[in-house]
Amino acid sequence: MKQIAAAALLIALAACSKSGSGASPAAAPDAGHANVASASPPSGSVCDRKLITVADIPPLLKGAITSGPMAGDPQSCIFSSGDYQVTVALRPGLGDVTVKTVLAGGENVSATALPGVGDKAAWTPSLHEVNASKNNLLCDIQASGGGGDVTPQTVGALCNKIFAAAG
């Protein structure tokens, strides 16, 4: 039964981080699983908390950049410029399991370890995405479309800035 619950959580997490549907996975309490946090997440998105701002995004996007919340997902923020966007999500209690899943091929795309970002991180080149964990806090940044210098280092640096600011 635990395996089914864990699989359902991972599917919900993957759907949320990829679909842009605004759905937010619920971290179900599981006393036998240390990777799921029981504490409630800080209120507000990365944008609301000003962990990163529009001024941090120009390496990834060019032109006039706007930011705002992701509809239906209070833990995510979108930075946009024309047809391009950067989506940033913070998910307490899901960092370790997410990075492990991504590196194990659980998203059905190739990913590599990204040293120097958080406690551990994964870079998925086909998605232009970094999933990083620090103290089991997930930083998920995806740059879609293009328009800037989208490298593992530029995206990973934003996760490190978020981790430092989030304390």
Q: What is the pLDDT of residues 138-163, one digit of tens each?
A: 999 999 866 677 899 999 999 999 99
Would you place residue 42 in the very low, low, confident or very high pLDDT band (cuts 50, 70, 90)?
low
Burial class (CB in 10 A: 0-12, 13-18, 19+), 120: middle
Q: Which residue has the higher pLDDT, 95 or 51?
A: 95
Q: What is the pLDDT of residue 49?
A: 84
Q: What is the pLDDT of residue 137?
A: 94
pLDDT tens digits along 61-97 = 988 999 998 888 888 999 999 889 999 999 999 999 9
Q: What is the pLDDT of residue 143?
A: 92
Q: Is residue 15 part of a domain?
A: no
Q: Is residue 94 part of a domain?
A: yes
Q: What is the pLDDT of residue 62?
A: 86
On the question of pLDDT at 59 being above 50, the answer is yes
Q: What is the pLDDT of residue 102?
A: 97
Range of the domain at 107: 40-166
Q: Is residue 27 part of a domain?
A: no
- In percent, the amount of the chain with pLDDT more than 90 equals 53
Q: What is the pLDDT of residue 146?
A: 62
Global pTM reads 0.74
**Cβ neighbours of residue 103 closer than 8 Å, sequence gap 6 or more:** 111, 112, 113, 122
Burial class (CB in 10 A: 0-12, 13-18, 19+), 19: exposed
Q: Pick the closest to residue 36 from 8, 76, 69 (CA basis).
A: 8
On the question of pLDDT at 121 being above 90, the answer is yes
Q: Is residue 24 part of a domain?
A: no
Q: What is the mean pLDDT of the chain?
A: 78
Question: Phi and psi for 83 in degrees, rounded to 5?
Answer: -85, 0
**Domains identified in the chain, total number:** 1
Q: Is residue 34 part of a domain?
A: no
Would you place residue 19 in the very low, low, confident or very high pLDDT band (cuts 50, 70, 90)?
very low
Q: What is the pLDDT of residue 87?
A: 95
Q: Is residue 59 part of a domain?
A: yes
Q: Is residue 69 part of a domain?
A: yes
Reported as type and span, the H/E element at residue 3 is: helix 2-19
> What residues are paired with 143 via a beta bridge?
86
- Looking up residue 136, the CATH number of its domain turns out to be 3.40.1000
